[in-house]
Amino acid sequence: MQTVWVLGDQLNRDIGALRDADPETHRVLLVESTAKLASKRWHRQRAHLVVASMRRFADELRSAGFEVDHRRSDSLRDGFREHVDEFGPERVLATEPASIAGLALLESLDVEIVRSNQFLCHYDEFAEWASGRKSFKMDDFYRWQRRRLGYLIDADGEPVGGRWSFDDENREPPPKDESFTWTDPQTSALDDIDRGVLDDLPDSCWGAEPDGTWATSRRRALSRLRHFVDEVLPGFGPHEDAMTTRSWHLAHSVLSPYMNIGLLLPGEVCDAVQEAYDRGDVPINSAEGFIRQVIGWREYVWGVYWLWGTEYRSRNELGADRPLPPVFTGADTEMRCVRACLDGVNDRAYNHHIQRLMVLGNLSLLHGVDPWALTDWMWSGFVDGAEWVMLPNVIGMSQWADGGMMATKPYAAGGNYIDTMSDYCGDCRFDRKQRVGDDACPFTTLYWDFLARHHDRLVKNPRVARQVRASERLSNLDAVRERAVEVRSRLDAGDL
Ligand code: SF4
């Protein structure tokens, strides 16, 4: 008998080494590593998602006739060795893992590594696409992906609707009409498997108990996909970037955790969206906006993670070295936007991309938080977190710590942006228009201070030069800087 070793983010019968496995000739190994569970302060719902999904996947494989060795071990390495000692397999096969450290581990063991099909663009293909290009921006990659994969492409090989991107139709603020509602995501009742997993999680886990928001089986993940495409996707486009206290999900798919652990594959997700568009059920700005997130952003981030390697994690172009403020780990705050986002993290291990980028990421960028500290917090705190997701998205996109390898400008903004895209500011104790004084919005103060602090570096950047010059002309720049010192010290003390 041969063994197929399936990692906790490869939970799909059609992935790599498992695709050609047969119960007559292959058994399956799954290892729950206590070292991995203890390696970070994981959000309870993140840890539960992975472990419960592994246990359900093991049951599915048993139902399909496989012998499954699902073991809890001190580490992945120990689990592998224990399995080999007990079963003596002829060969052990594994699909390429999703992390550089995981690949190094498998290469150090006697494991045959099978090419992964978990992404639509393998990182070798991405490296080939990127080679020889001076800059390789997401937009170029996205067009290349659209053409070669054929999503939303007409018979002449051109984008349907006559444009590659409808991003400018995806930036509406939340509707002012308070009676407007968004379709709730599906939920599932917890069962004995869930309760067993929760009993086994380490005390270091934090955050609210799972409430059935996140599916932990392929069957339920497929049901979530169907629900999204049929009920939610038509309204996805317009409010993609909006934030509101009235809904944590708006019209977002909330499918990323399933794609990131293999319960869903990106191809089947995009196929379902393409079919809905072809039937005329979904407008182009919603279909294109969603396909862009999956075959564009998601696969681009995957590609650059492998291209730039482990050195990328130590990038810190702006020399940011402050610790993560206590508000991220439980301190109270009067900043209504920050409170809303952190409540979302605590309650569901989830924020959508604009909350991550323009509230929590923005605050960290303006404050000068060590980029790795924020990366680690987001990786362990979000239900869809993974190293490949967080390194490019946080180090590059959010904190501009790579000096522009990923983003052409730092995503820094004051209270005005947050007010435009949300309903947070109206009832906030701070005033988004004020730069100085006790009522000044911390984002607004820190935004102008950030531009002034990094003047010499940013004034040469055409995408932000105008704002940097405006900061030079502020009549009260000294007072802004004074207030920024106070804001920073209160953030560090967990008292803002
Ligand atoms: Fe956030 Fe400032 Fe708006 Fe308050 S006023 S919600 S702190 S952006």
6 in the same domain as 81 = yes
The model scores a pTM over 0.90 = yes
271 in the same domain as 415 = no
- Which position has the token pair 């169907």? 226
Residue where one domain finishes, among candidates 256, 275, 308 = 308
Strand 92-95, strand 2-5: pairing = parallel
Give residue 32 CA to ligand 1 midpoint distance, Å: 42
CA pair distance 112, 20, nearest whole angstrom? 14
Mean predicted lDDT score pLDDT of the chain:
95
477 in the same domain as 330 = yes
* Torsion angles phi and psi, residue 40, rounded to 5: -145, 170
CB 301 within 8 A of CB 388: yes
Number of domains in the chain: 3
CB 373 within 8 A of CB 290: no
CA pair distance 434, 3, nearest whole angstrom? 63
Give residue 163 CA to ligand 1 midpoint distance, Å: 35
Give residue 134 CA to ligand 1 midpoint distance, Å: 39
453 in the same domain as 330 = yes
Q: To test the ligand 1 pocket, which listed residue (360, 367, 418, 439) has its Cβ within 8 A of the most ligand atoms?
A: 418
Q: Quick one: CA dihedral 429, 241, 391, 415, positive or negative?
A: negative
Give residue 239 CA to ligand 1 midpoint distance, Å: 20
480 in the same domain as 365 = yes
329 in the same domain as 290 = no
Burial of 102 (0-12, 13-18, 19+ CB in 10 A): middle
What three-state secondary structure class fits 30?
strand
Mean pLDDT per 10-residue section of the chain, whose length is 496 residues = 98 96 98 96 98 98 98 97 97 98 95 97 96 87 96 94 85 81 93 97 97 98 98 86 92 95 98 97 93 97 95 95 96 97 98 96 98 97 97 96 92 96 95 96 98 94 94 93 97 95
CA pair distance 91, 49, nearest whole angstrom? 30
Nearest-CA residue for atom 8 of ligand 1:
415
49 in the same domain as 63 = yes
Nearest-CA residue for atom 5 of ligand 1:
432
Nearest-CA residue for atom 1 of ligand 1:
337
Residue where one domain finishes, among candidates 277, 308, 339 = 308
- Domain residues for the domain of 303 are 123-308
Here the CATH number for the domain that contains residue 475 is 1.10.579.10
CB 349 within 8 A of CB 41: no
Beta bridge partners of 328: none
Give residue 322 CA to ligand 1 midpoint distance, Å: 22
**Among the listed residues 66, 73, 89, the one whose alpha carbon sits nearest the alpha carbon of residue 18:** 66
158 in the same domain as 108 = no
Residue 292 tokens, joined = 């862009």
148 in the same domain as 78 = no
CB within 6 Å of ligand 1 — which residues?
335-337, 415, 418-419, 424-425, 428, 430, 432, 441-443
Give residue 326 CA to ligand 1 midpoint distance, Å: 18
pLDDT at 62: 98
Here the CATH number for the domain that contains residue 42 is 3.40.50.620
262 in the same domain as 404 = no
The ipTM is: 1.00
Q: Given the CA of residue 441, which atom of ligand 1 is nearest to it? A: 2
Residue where one domain finishes, among candidates 275, 308, 341 = 308
Residue 57 tokens, joined = 């996947």
322 in the same domain as 299 = no
319 in the same domain as 231 = no
Here the CATH number for the domain that contains residue 192 is 1.25.40.80
Nearest-CA residue for atom 7 of ligand 1:
335
pLDDT at 237: 75
